[in-house]
Structures are given as C-alpha cells and as structure tokens.
Structure 1
Amino acid sequence: MTSWKERRVTGPVIRKPMQEVLLEKSPSGPAGFVLNKRQSMGDQLYGQILEQITSGRLPEGTRLPAEIELCKMFGVSRPVVRQALQRLQADGLVHARQGSGTYVMARPADRLASFAEPQRVAEFLRCIEVRLVLEGSAARFAAERRSPSELQAIELAHDLFAQEVARGQLSPQGDLAFHMAVAAASNNDFYPLLLEHLHEALEGFMNISLSLTRTSPRERASAVLQEHALIVEAIRVQDPDAAEVAMKFHITQARRRVIDRNRD
C-alpha cells in the first residue's frame, strides 16, 4: 500500500520521503524549524510549507503528512500545526479532505520568494485580517464625515498613485498615502493612529503586492487603480455602504493577487 510519504492525487508518486522534502535545506536558509522571536510558530510553519509549495518541491496534488507527523517533524504542538494548515487552506493553497488528508491545491507565483521571506508573507497576510475590519470601517466613516478638503486630499493621493501606475513605478509609499488619506477623513484619530501602528506590516505587504504587480501584465496595475477609484467615488458621493464594500473588496483582491499565481 502506498504510504502518505509517496501518495499523490494524480500522477507519479514522490520518490523522496515527505519529511526530507519539508526539512531539506532551502536556498533562503537552513533545514529544519528554527524559532524566530519576532514571529509566531504558526507563521513560521506556514512559511516553511509555503516556501516548499512556491519552489515546486511540493507540487499541486501532493498529500501533506498527518498533523501528528508534522508535530514530530518540526517539534511544535498540534494547535500550531492546525493554525498553519487552517491558514494555508483559507489562502486556497491546500485543501483538507475528510478522511483522506490535506493536499496542495495551488501554487503562488515563483517570483513571490524574490520579494519576501515566506515567514514574512504569513505575517503580512495575517495583517490583512485586521485591515479588512479597520479600513472597511474607516472608509464607511470617511464617506459619512469627510470634508471638502479631506475629499481633495483623498483625490490628490489617488491622482499621484495613478501617475505612478502610468510610469510603471508603483510604490508602497504612494499606496499607503492613499489609505492614510481615507483613514484621516474618518474624523476619528484612532484610525490613522492604528494604521501607523501597523506601518511595518502594511508597507511590507504593499511592497510584495506592488512588486508582483510591477512584474505582471499592465492589466493588473489597472485593476488596482480601478479599485482605488471605486473607493474614491463612494466617498465622494457619501455612500457609506459602497465605501466599505469597495475598500474590503480592494483589500481582499490585494491578498489574492499575492497568493494566486493565476492572477498575473
């Protein structure tokens, strides 16, 4: 009987044992699971598996080891393994089949590894969960409360970002300036303060997302700009529901652009 070490959904079996695939030395660092005080164990395990998926060492269709095996391989608890697998599944990278196991379902763009370490990608994607709530709410209040001068600031940030798109020189600073202008227009100082607190993760995520966009077909940059335009228009006409939906849609799409190789 074929073991979990070799089994695939379709195609030939993997000749190398799964433990060796997951623990082998990668171009970006040593083999094994080395704790980093700045990052949670869940983030690091997510990053370890993500790196193997992105590199192609774990191709689509590969069955991952069982939870208990991953615990032994990486020296972590079962809750840590479950957290990493749940987030990989939420990102559409793996899929759990009841009674069968967890399988690799998708692979991000190869060049993702050129723009950030996999563990940092996990951290940045976790920040998206906070941004959805925080910035969706800020956009709603901006639509309700913005002054003419605050709308002008949002439109100026949008125009400057559009100029970057036209030049093919998108920057995290330009993108962040737009989001900060929306937060400031909420007329609640906590929104820009909280975004400022998330600055490192925000800028890191935007750097990955915009780097992928710069190296993709031009339509991708146009999509980002159009999403910004929908937010601006909703705030301009003071439609809180539309502003919140537009902002959440934009952030969700940005997340998908990072992890889905088919969005090139």
Structure 2
Amino acid sequence: MAKIPVMPARKQKLSDTIYAHILSQITAGEYSSGDKLPSEAELSSTFHVSRPIVREALSRLGTDGLIYSKRGIGSFVATKPSKRLTDFANAFDLSRFIRSFEPRIVLEVEAVRLAATRRTRAEVEEIAESVEALDKAIAKGELGQKEDMAFHDAIARAAHNDFFVDLLTDLRAPVMETMNIGLELAREAAPTRRLRIIEEHSRIRDAIDTKDGDTAAGYMKYHLLQARAAMLDAHHLESRLSSFEEE
C-alpha cells in the first residue's frame, strides 16, 4: 500500500522532529518494549535543542501511549508498533491520528448508546447491511474502509441528533486515515484479527438491534480501543483475542 497522502496539520516544530525520530527508532526495532530511552540531557545534546523542547516531545509520546516515565529514573518504551506503521503515514502525522481516537471514543460511544434506543427498523437493517458488506470486502482481500465508514456513519444517523453526524464529519480526515492504517495492518495480520474486526462490528449491531444501549456503548468503546491498539502495539491484538471472546 502506498503512503496515505496527507497534508501536515501544522508547521513542524523542533519537538515534532524529536517525536518522529524516536517513533521511527521504536518502529525500526532499535528499542523494544521496556527499553530505557536516552535521558533528556542526552537527547538535548544529540538534537542540539533545549530540554523543554525534548520534554515536549517525550510528553507527546507519553500521551500517545508509546512511552511511559518513571520519576527520577527516565522514560521507557511502552509498546512496539508494527514496523510497517511509518510506511502508511509519516511520523509527523501519526500523533494526530492516534489522538483522534480520544474525541471519537467520546462521540461514538454516546452516539451508539442513543442509536440503540432511537433507531428505526430501517436503520437497524442499514447497519446490518454495512457489517455484511464489510465482511464480504475483507473476505475478498479488500481493505473495506468504505464499508467500515458506512457502519459508523449509519450509527451516527440512527442517534437522531444531527450534531453527532456533523461532528463525525468534522473528524472525517483522521478517521479515514486511521481506518486505512488499521485495516491494512489487519489485512497483513493473522486471519483471527480480520475475523475479529467483523465480530466487533457484529456485537455492536446486535446490541443496537436489541435496544441495549449500555452494551452497545461498551462494545463500541472496546472496538475503538482495539483499533487504537492496532496502531500502537504489533502484538496486542492477537494476545487479547481470548479476553474479547470471554466478555
């Protein structure tokens, strides 16, 4: 897959350069989960920048779930993303993509909760058709991004509040980009991950069908967290398969 063509969200800062460099090192395997990163002072010297700039880059890496800090000890790698991650989008844009999951979770979890109680029979059928279309697309080896987006759009409409539709539209660009990356990584992964994507969508659909708003909200949150995990941790999704099946 070619790199996703995107425009920089803003002018790149020095902290962006450090963020991208460390992310590239992690994805390339120079650091593994649990490895300690160079100190702020060492990074400051390496990049010829002030320590506050280094601190800003490390803070963003921490917020994005890529590293964690131990007071008085230093920063450590939290997860090891797929080596292919930076093939799909440049490192400068990945932080924006990862952070887009935070508003998505707030928005879509509540949208699906309302959709489960307000949906019409026609809307249930539309949601079910989008799941079936996604299943067929993935079975044919296609990415399924259009079908996946149709599923989330249908749920937003079923909430019967135009603000949910408008807000999801505002997030369209990063949502489509993260879907591209997540579905592409899933296509390269074991078949269990592709089957699991369909299972996650199907459970949300079933909860909407039975008008169980709390269950629908829980499954949507789980689904979005798993999509985020697909970008951050190459091993997370397969290791978590059994926990999803037990829920």
TM class, shorter-chain normalised?
0.7 to 0.9
Matched, 1:63 2:36: yes
Which runs of structure 1 show a deviation greater than 6 angstroms over 4 or more consecutive aligned residues?
Answer: none
Q: Distance in 1 between matches of 2:86 and 2:104?
A: 23
Partner of 1:261, secondary structure, is coil
Partner of 1:106, secondary structure, is coil
What's the counterpart of residue 200 of structure 1? Answer: 173
What's the counterpart of residue 152 of structure 2? Answer: 179
Q: Distance in 1 between matches of 2:12 and 2:194?
A: 32
**Which residues of structure 2 form unaligned runs of 5+?**
239-247
Matching residue within 84, 94, 108 for 1:135: 108
What's the counterpart of residue 185 of structure 2? Answer: 212
Q: Which has the higher contact order (CA 8 A, sep 6+)?
A: 2
What one-letter code is carried by the residue in structure 2 that aligns with 1:63?
K
Matching residue within 102, 107, 113 for 2:86: 113
2:143–2:180 CA contact under 8 A, matched in 1: no
- Which structure has the bigger radius of gyration? 1
RMSD of the TM alignment (CA)? 2.4
* CA 1:139–1:84: 2 relative to 1, 3 Å: farther
* CA 1:220–1:136: 2 relative to 1, 3 Å: same
Q: Distance in 2 between matches of 1:108 and 1:131?
A: 21
* Aligned length in residues: 229
What one-letter code is carried by the residue in structure 2 that aligns with 1:131?
R
TM norm structure 1: 0.78
* CA 1:261–1:218: 2 relative to 1, 3 Å: same
Q: Distance in 2 between matches of 1:104 and 1:71?
A: 18
What one-letter code is carried by the residue in structure 2 that aligns with 1:240?
G
Task: Kindly indicate which of the two structures has a greater share of residues assigned to helix.
Answer: 2
Matched, 1:102 2:75: yes
* CA 1:195–1:97: 2 relative to 1, 3 Å: same
1:43–1:123 CA contact under 8 A, matched in 2: no
1:172–1:207 CA contact under 8 A, matched in 2: yes
TM norm structure 2: 0.83
Give % identity: 37
